[in-house]
Every structure is written in C-alpha cells, then in structure tokens.
Amino acid sequence: MDAQQKISIEELRKLCRDVLAHYGFSQLHINALTETLVTGQINECASHGVYRLLGLIHTLNAGKVSPDAHPIVFDHAPAIVKVDAQKTFSPIAFQAGLPLLTEKAKINGLAAMAINHCVHFSALWFEIEQITQQGLVAIACNPSHAWVAPVGGSKSILGTNPFAFGWPRPDNDPFIFDFATSAIARGDIELHRRTNTPLKEGWAVDVKGNPTTDPNEALTGSMLPFGSHKGSALSIMIELIAASLIGDLNSAESLAWDEKAGGLPYHGEIIIAFNPQSFLGDQMSEYFNRAELMFGDIEASGARLPSQRRYAAKKKNLASGMVSIDQTLLKDIQNLLS
C-alpha cells in the first residue's frame, strides 16, 4: 500500500463532484455517485471508496454506461418493484426504486425490488443500510463477471456474486454483512501476483480445473467459491434469483457483453425487504430484544459481529471530518480533471 494522506470529507466530496461533472454526468448521477463513493471512503472500505472513480470513468469512456439517463420505476406487481436502470450505475437505480420498495414492504409484509440493466460497482452494504434505516430487514445479491468456477468444474461460469443481509437494531448500528461468494476477492489474487506470493489452497483452479496456488495460473484459470460445494450452490442461487428470475444477464453473459473492454459488470440485482412490524405486530419489541440478547451472547463469547470495523471507522472519520486516502490514488483522481 502506498503512503496515505488525510483529506477533508468536504474536499473529497467536491473533488468527486468535479470529476463527475467534468465527464458529463447529470446532477442526479453526480449526487448519487458521490454519496456512494465518499461513504465507502468514510467507512474505510477502500475497495468501494473513491478508488472506484477510476473504473467509473473507464467504463464511461468505453461507452458502457450512461452518464445522464433517468431510471424508470415500475409498479410491477403488488409486491414487486422493477427499476429499469437505463444503463446507469446501480446507486441511481437503487435510489429511484427505494421509496416504492419501502411502501410495498410495509403494505404487504415483504416486497422485492428487481433492478435491471445497471452497471454495478457499489457495495451492497450501503444499499442494505438505507433499507434498515426504514426499519426493514433486507437481503440483496447480484451476479458480476464470470471469474469463478463452480466447485468440481474447470470453467468460469459464476461471478464473485455478493450476498448481503441487514437487520435494524434499536439504538445501535444495524447488523449487516456483505460478502463475496468467491473464496477471495479478485483484487487479492492480483495482489498476490504482484508480490509473487502463493495463494492459499482452495482459492483457485488452473485452466484445466486443477487446484493451484500460483496467482498467474489462477488469473488465466478460475477463482473458486468460498465454503466448497455450499458456497458454490449459493453462488448458483444468486445467478438464478438475481439474473434469470429478474430477466437480466447472468455473470457469463455480463462478461460476454463487456467484449473485453475491462468495464464494470452490467446486469441486475434483487433486493428483498421484510417489514418486521407486519410479521410481529405488538410482539416486535420482545423479539427484537431477544435478538439483542443473541448479539450480546455472540460478542461475549469472543466472536465479532460483522461490520464493526467499518462502523468504528465511520464514527472516527465523521467526528474528525477527515478521511485517509492513498496519495497515488488521489493524484490519479485529480489527473482525471486534466
């Protein structure tokens, strides 16, 4: 990792806005994208922070995303919202559909939002967090580009397919997890290649489907799902419910669509929101308290709840109004303006 420097959140936000405006993004896009990127940085999720600006502009320059289209929200069925993202980035489509998803979940007890035709770069936790803020429980997942082989196979058919979940906690940050169903992020394989470090067993196979710990063989071969056949099954489920069920590209189709442009994945996403008030009625506080007891037991036993590192970083950075950023990355972003 290169040297880090501090920058004020306001200054970073302005830099993002300036870059996006420079490349012709509309106000709607500038607002949603800046919020997503800067939130990633505040939460110290470097891989989903302002670093992503580079990929966004690359994808725009490759002609693979719209900088100014308006997503269209459809009231598709009593419990289904559909959002046609119109080839915009996912956060713009998500924000367009969220109010109707929330309304439908509260009326029906649960509801699904299917986002179609979006270019994807954002972390699901940020979307989940916006749903738990409405008092709802949420599950979200999406395909990506096909870089992962199903367990036992020799071909990349599945994406790194993230799966995320959120549970609102009274008087506390929500319980949120968001993980790739691949054993490891693709960026980690790249990092091992650059530092010439062998991979761990179970992370990848070569082009013939044989286990490999060589990062070069992994990059020409396939990554593997986490958790062996169970993770593999979950990843296939994500292809089915977040591509086939919602009528959008799966990870193999997304990669084919990219035509080796090295752009971001283009596909859909499914989000399911549950209204605990509908399920529990006047028993809600009792059962939410019992969930709190479980969280307490988990922490008392020595385990950590997910997202705690992120919440600590957010708290610290919001208090100081400053975030850390890689110096080289900051220069690269500033250079986008020249």
Between 24 and 152, name the residue whose CB sits nearer to its own copies: 152
Q: Which two tokens stand for residue 223?
A: 């990554």
For its own copies, which is the closer residue by CB, 191 or 305? Answer: 305
Q: What three-state secondary structure class fits 291?
A: helix
User: Residue 59, SS3?
Assistant: helix
Q: Which is nearer to its own copies, 126 or 165 (CB)?
A: 165
Residues 93, 18: Cα–Cα separation, whole Å: 22
CB of 260 to its own copies, least distance (A): 19
- As a whole number of angstroms, the distance between CA 295 and CA 236 comes to 30
Name the E strands within the chain: 4-8, 72-77, 80-84, 110-119, 137-141, 162-167, 175-180, 204-205, 222-223, 266-274, 322-326
For the bound state, the minimum distance from the C-beta of residue 314 to its own copies, rounded and expressed in Å, comes to 19
Minimum CB distance to its own copies smaller for 89 or for 167: 167
Distance CA 278, CA 103 (A): 12
Closer Cβ to its own copies, 39 or 232, answer by number: 232
- Nearest to its own copies of 80, 85 (CB atom): 80
Question: What are the C-alpha distances in Å from 6 to residues 12, 39, 282, 319?
Answer: 10, 15, 48, 14
Active site residues: 47-48, 188
* Least Cβ distance, residue 237 to its own copies (angstroms): 5
Handedness of CA 240, 241, 245, 251 (dihedral sign): negative
Element (H, E) at 285: helix 284-300
The single-letter code of the amino acid at 313 is A
DSSP 37-57: HHHHHHTT-GGGSTTHHHHHH
CB 148, min distance to its own copies, A: 11
DSSP per residue, 100-145: HHHHHHHHHSEEEEEEEEEE--S-HHHHHHHHHTTT-EEEEE----
Q: How far apart are the first and last CA of the chain?
A: 25
User: Is residue 271 within 8 Å of 139, Cβ to Cβ?
Assistant: yes
3-state secondary structure 245-258: CCCCCCHHHHHHHH
CB closer to its own copies out of 245 and 318: 245
- Please report how close the Cβ of residue 215 comes to its own copies at its closest, in angstroms: 21
- We find the least distance from the C-beta atom of residue 239 to its own copies, in angstroms, to be 6
Tell me how far, at minimum, the Cβ of 75 lies from its own copies, in Å. 11
